[in-house]
Amino acid sequence: MATPIENWYEIRVNYEKVAAFGPIRQEALDRAWDLIRKVRYDLYRGKVLQIVEVLKVQTKNEKGQYSFTRNGLRETIIHEEHPTQFEDPTPKGCVSPIPYDLSIL
C-alpha cells in the first residue's frame, strides 16, 4: 500500500490549483518551474501564476493542544508573478504629445 503524500508543490493560476507535484524534492520543484516556463506566455497569458509549497501540519484545538493527526495545511508562496499590462493613454488616431524636455526648441 502506498503512503499518502504529505507535502507537495502546487501551480496556481489566478489563485486556483491547476497542477500538483510532490513530494517536496528538487525534482518536483523543477517540474513545476518547467510547467510555468512552458505556459506563461501562451495558455496562462495575462493571469497570476504561483508556485505554492503545501505541507500537512498538526493543528491546535481551542485549549492549545495539538491534534493527533496532520489535519491542517500550511501554504508558502515560493514564486508569484502578475501580468503586466501597458495601456497607451493616447486615444486611437491621435498623435501622442512629445514631452517638453524631449522636444526640439
CA distances from 20 to 12, 33, 69, 73, 85 (A): 9, 12, 22, 15, 28
What does the pLDDT average to over 81-90? 62
pTM, to two decimals: 0.71
The per-residue pLDDT for 103 is 47
| Model confidence pLDDT, tens digit, residues 21-70 | 989 999 999 999 999 999 888 888 889 999 999 999 988 888 888 887 77
The per-residue pLDDT for 97 is 55
The per-residue pLDDT for 84 is 67
What are 87's three cell numbers?
Answer: 495601456
Confidence of residue 96 (pLDDT cuts 50, 70, 90): low
Kindly tell me if the per-residue pLDDT of 17 is higher than 90: yes
The per-residue pLDDT for 95 is 57
